[in-house]
Amino acid sequence: MPILRQAYALQALRELGRLAPDLARVRANRSLEDSLRSLSEACQTTLGMELETLTLFDARSVVRLFGHAEQARILAHLMDERARTLAEHGDFVGALSDTVYAGQLLMCSRQRFGVHKDAGAADALERELPKPPP
């Protein structure tokens, strides 16, 4: 069973890597609603869960849903992207809230999975996501 969970987490990372350039492009070229919709779709595609539903709960409860640190990292990345989107559209309070939530996700991930696995998740995310253009 752990092998299936690991395969699922790696597939989610690859899917996020495939979607990352599109998310950045949508953030730069479209309305706030379109950008937020793209982030919701990315969360549904990568994690199989609704972004809006996940953000209703505290970070610790959300991390407990996940079987791997990579999943918490993916959600933290999506929350960071949402914070950037909100900031670009002038919602600095919402951006700050999403940034804090992303940090809480990472902290809870380290508490649940340990520093070694969380660091491995960060490395995996770094490998799978394309580098942003300068």
Residue spans per domain, the chain: 2-128
* pLDDT given for residue 38 in this prediction: 85
* % helix, strand, coil for the chain, step of 5: 85, 0, 15
* pLDDT given for residue 26 in this prediction: 58
DSSP state of 21: H
Q: How far apart are CA 128 and CA 11, in angstroms?
A: 10
* pLDDT given for residue 57 in this prediction: 94
Question: Are 101 and 109 within 8 A, CB to CB?
Answer: no
Is the predicted pLDDT of residue 113 greater than 50, yes or no? yes
User: How much is the pTM?
Assistant: 0.74
Burial class (CB in 10 A: 0-12, 13-18, 19+), 61: exposed
Question: Are 92 and 31 within 8 A, CB to CB?
Answer: no
Per residue in 59-110, pLDDT (tens digit) is: 999 999 988 888 888 899 899 989 988 998 889 999 999 999 999 999 999 8
Question: Are 51 and 83 within 8 A, CB to CB?
Answer: no
The phi and psi torsions of 89 (rounded to 5 degrees) equal -100, 15
Per residue in 3-50, pLDDT (tens digit) is: 555 555 556 656 656 566 666 665 556 778 888 888 898 888 888 889
